[in-house]
Amino acid sequence: MSRPGRNPLPRATLRELAARAMRADRDALCDPADRAWVESILTPSELDLWSGLSAYDQRHTIQVARRVQRRLASTVYAGDTLWPAAALMHDVGKLEADLSLLERAAATLASRAVGVAGARKWMRSPVRTKRRIGLYLLHGEVGARMIRRAGGREAIAAWTEAHQGDRGIDGLGFPTIVVEALIESDVA
């Protein structure tokens, strides 16, 4: 299932980020029914991490998880909450970066220039802004470590780590239909 040439760094365009920012202002608060659904499928340690996300990121992950749920509804994975839970947790690493939407736009621009190797260097930078941008650019790896430290489910940590690029997706052992639903739901 490898997709050659796919950029593993955050793939939103500036236009998409601007549109998301405007929607975030409008839709910032989590609907109580959605919150109850999230609470029903995440473990307590996963929920603690997820709850730390910004209202914007919570809303985004709920939308992705609901799309995963719909895409899997007519498959043998209908009703399996592991996959929507993985979608809910995929961006939890963004907590460490703590970037505003404007800073995320700048980080997205920077990603075009620095690449993965540069982002790794920036993650270790003593310069706070560089470090935060590096963390954001590699939020999948960061989030996976957070989930594992918190005692979250390994399949969720593995998806969180792999979701930014193809490196490792084939080795996850996840069903192809699930991987496709997770990938396609995050892009939509």
Res 2: pLDDT: 45
Please compute, for residue 188, the number of CA atoms within 13 A of its CA located in the half-sphere on the CB side: 17
CA–CA separation, 179 vs 68, rounded Å? 10
Res 15: pLDDT: 74
The closest alpha carbon to 94, from 127, 129, 142, 46, belongs to 142
pLDDT in 10s for each residue of the chain, 188 residues = 545 555 666 666 767 766 766 666 555 667 899 999 999 999 999 999 999 998 889 999 999 999 999 999 999 999 999 999 999 999 999 999 999 888 888 898 888 888 889 999 999 999 999 999 999 999 999 999 999 999 999 999 999 999 986 556 777 889 999 999 999 999 74
CA–CA separation, 85 vs 67, rounded Å? 12
Q: Which amino acid is at 11?
A: R
H or E stretch at 27: helix 14-27
Q: DSSP labels for 96-162?
A: HH---HHHHHHHHHHHHHHHHHHHHHHHT-SSHHHHHHHHHHTHHHHHHHHHHHHT--HHHHHHHHH
Res 37: pLDDT: 97
Q: Determine if residue 172 is left, alpha or beta; phi over 0 gives left, psi from -120 to 50 gives alpha, anything else beta.
A: alpha
Q: How far is CA 89 from the centre of its chain?
A: 6
Whether the Cβ atoms of residue 72 and residue 80 lie closer than 8 Å to each other: yes
Whether the Cβ atoms of residue 149 and residue 162 lie closer than 8 Å to each other: no
CA–CA separation, 107 vs 97, rounded Å? 11
